A and B are shown apart, each in its own frame.
Chain A
């Protein structure tokens, strides 16, 4: 049974560029949450998607946007990249929005130069 799959694993982008990260949730899960984890810090909540809608958003600017597809997979888009966007981006899936039984993927390491 596959867990949460994220792609790509690593990415290097230049300031000002745009990036798209992808996530396939664990089989049977219908809710996807995205977190940003800076080096030496705990994950910070970006937003959560359920039924193809953004259900809640953390303190991140509009440059961060997302999408959920009918098969429950999700994308995270970041526009106008800043050096400070360099981090590990984690996708977590769960069954239903209010379930805290998250399964995390291994993340996408984004480096902005």
Chain B
């Protein structure tokens, strides 16, 4: 079983739609949860960083963590064509330096 599972997509939505991206993970020891955005031919860019359960909002982006279900989500409101990219979830745990990444979900927002 993979440590983190993510639907690779692609996910196609019209401009202005609300987008929901999700990951599940297997080990309850993970405490740090991140979402990265990666444009083609670029490195990942940190979007959201949360510790433990709960919600975090930053502009049009909301990250949600449900540790009881081992489920993490990223919501994008009023999606824009410039949001078209691959979104990677990543998880980490205390005492371990590495991040474990999902495979990434490719998002396409059409005008």
Interface set of A (CB-CB < 8 Å, partner B)? 4, 33, 35, 40-45, 48, 55-56, 58, 90, 92, 97-98, 100-107
A40 and B103 form a contact (CB under 8 A): yes
- Give the Cβ gap from B22 to chain A, nearest Cβ, in Å: 14
Q: Per-residue 0/1 for B74-111: is the Cβ within 8 Å of any A Cβ (1 yes, 0 no)?
A: 00000000000000101010101111111110000000
Interface size band for B: 20 to 34
Residues in B with CB closer than 8 Å to A98 are: 94, 97
A102-B99, A104-B45 known; 18 other A-B pairs, CB under 8 Å? A33-B98, A35-B101, A42-B104, A43-B88, A44-B101, A45-B99, A48-B98, A56-B97, A58-B98, A92-B43, A97-B97, A98-B97, A100-B32, A100-B92, A100-B99, A105-B43, A106-B41, A106-B43
B49 and A40 form a contact (CB under 8 A): no
Sample (16) of A-B pairs whose CB atoms are under 8 Å apart: A4-B43, A33-B98, A41-B103, A42-B6, A42-B90, A42-B102, A42-B103, A43-B44, A43-B99, A56-B98, A100-B92, A101-B46, A102-B46, A104-B36, A104-B45, A107-B42
Residues in A with CB closer than 8 Å to B88 are: 42-43
